[in-house]
Amino acid sequence: MMPKKCVVVIDDSLGSRATLGSALKRLGFEVVGEGSSGSEAIRLAQKLKPDVLFLAVGLPDMDGLTAAAHVLETLPLPILILTSHLEPGLIQRAKEAGVMAYLLKPLREEELLPAIELAISRFEEFNALREENADLKRILEDRKLIERAKGILMEREKISEPQAFGRIQKASMNSRRSMAEIAQAILLSEAVAGRTQ
């Protein structure tokens, strides 16, 4: 059996919080935390690390979208915004903050599960893309290092590009270090010798 997904609900309306909490429990979620302010949202998200965070827009200390942006800076998780108004400006801010869904009050229970599943799915896709992007960036940085190191070897040793690449590759295999680490060592030795700008 799948473990229950943990949810935190932040809404300054006690009635809305209770209604949403009951609906979530009926749908098989576990409400692990509740609050009524943006600062509580930030604190509970960091402390409880829920699978999903529900945030009302109208909170006494800061609006839900500001709280969402603060939470997402330190803890990426699917956030669903709750509001009684359908304002284009709010929707734009929700997109910019990284919110995964926008639900109108009063909530209809039959819309809740699809919205949560869609938010979780979008969030997982977004995370996968972000990780892929970070990997591609690292690969590009590594290639730049290797290119610079090849240039240094070609100049210093008066060898061809394939020979320089072969040397880096061989050193990488012999030392069980990545080619980027070998390239970094070549660049460092060149800097120590005072041969780089």
Could you read off the pLDDT of 69-106 as tens digits, one per residue?
Answer: 999 998 889 999 998 877 778 888 888 888 888 888 88
CB atoms within 10 A of CB 62: 16
Please name which of 105, 111, 36 lies closest in space to residue 67, comparing C-alpha atoms. 36
User: Residue 52 has which token pair?
Assistant: 């999903």
The whole-chain average pLDDT of the chain stands at 89
Higher pLDDT, 97 or 28: 28
Please name which of 101, 103, 97 lies closest in space to residue 120, comparing C-alpha atoms. 101
The count of residues in the chain is 197
For residues 64 and 90, is the Cβ–Cβ distance under 8 A? no
Q: What is the pLDDT of residue 197?
A: 46
Q: What is the pLDDT of residue 25?
A: 94
For residues 74 and 46, is the Cβ–Cβ distance under 8 A? yes
Domain with CATH 3.40.50.2300 in the chain: 6-107
In percent, how much of the chain has pLDDT > 90? 56
Domain 6-107 architecture: 3-Layer(aba) Sandwich (3.40)
Q: What is the pLDDT of residue 85?
A: 78
* Mean pLDDT to the nearest integer, 32-51: 95
pTM over 0.85: no
Span 136-152, pLDDT tens digits: 889 999 999 999 999 99
Please name which of 121, 40, 46 lies closest in space to residue 80, comparing C-alpha atoms. 121
Please name which of 147, 160, 141, 137 lies closest in space to residue 186, comparing C-alpha atoms. 147
Q: What is the pLDDT of residue 196?
A: 53
For residues 103 and 115, is the Cβ–Cβ distance under 8 A? yes
* Mean pLDDT to the nearest integer, 173-181: 92
Backbone phi and psi for residue 107, each to the nearest 5 degrees, phi listed first: -70, 140
* Mean pLDDT to the nearest integer, 48-54: 95
User: Residue 9 has which token pair?
Assistant: 């609900």
For residues 44 and 33, is the Cβ–Cβ distance under 8 A? yes
Angle between helices 109-157 and 14-26 in degrees, nearest 10 = 80
Tracing tokens 């290119």 back to the chain, one arrives at: 147
List of residues 6+ apart from 186 with CB closer than 8 A: 149, 152, 153, 168
Per-residue pLDDT at 134 exceeds 70: yes
Helix (H, G, I), strand (E, B) or coil at 153: helix
CATH topology for the 136-192 domain = Arc Repressor Mutant, subunit A (1.10.10)
* Mean pLDDT to the nearest integer, 163-176: 92
